Amino acid sequence: MGFMELAKNRYSERFYSPRPIENEKLDRILEAGRLAPTACNYQPQRFYLIRSDGAKAKLRNVTHFHFNAPAVILVCYNRDEAWKNPRDRFYDDYCSGEQDASIAAAMMMFEAEEQGIHTVWVRGFDSRSVAETFGLPENIVPVMMLPMGYPREDAKPSEWHFIRKPLSEFVRELR
């Protein structure tokens, strides 16, 4: 399947089968995140795999957006390793960590789809609560979660998935 077809077919899954994800597929998904481009190639992204019953019970305490997925990747970045631009006039002490982690998450999302694993991008949580619940070091910043698994037989994309604004609303040529 070509990338554009993959991008068009991928949708946010909220109805997962309890079937576990094979380790080989998880490894490929995580490898896609490791290979993601980052600012100055500093590679501050960090991934925490949540799939044991105990870890999933902790997850339910910090978000209800877990969708009972058999596995969740908590995508974070190391604040001490992210590129910073102190001269940006829009941002005080701009830090690339959130963008670096997001690029890695997107790459994992598409590799998961390639492997037949569905995902949903989740940002419905308090970062501090997640860090405290899972005992993350102070320099590790949670960015998003990627619940994933095989879809249930009755799973289908939301009607909203097919609604897209035209390209003309997104693109402006600068002169």
Per the domain annotation, does 75 fall within a domain? yes
Residue holding tokens 């501090």? 128
Per the domain annotation, does 174 fall within a domain? no
Per the domain annotation, does 175 fall within a domain? no
We report the CATH number of the domain holding residue 151 as 3.40.109.10
pTM: 0.94
Per the domain annotation, does 46 fall within a domain? yes
Per the domain annotation, does 57 fall within a domain? yes
Distance CA 81, CA 140 (A): 10
Tell me what the mean pLDDT of segment 67-96 comes to.
93
E strands within 29-139? 45-50, 71-78, 84-85, 94-95, 118-119
Average pLDDT, the chain: 95
Structural domain range at position 163: 3-169
pLDDT at 56: 97
Distance CA 57, CA 39 (A): 34
Number of domains within the chain: 1
Distance CA 10, CA 111 (A): 11
Asked whether the predicted pLDDT for residue 89 surpasses 90, the reply is no
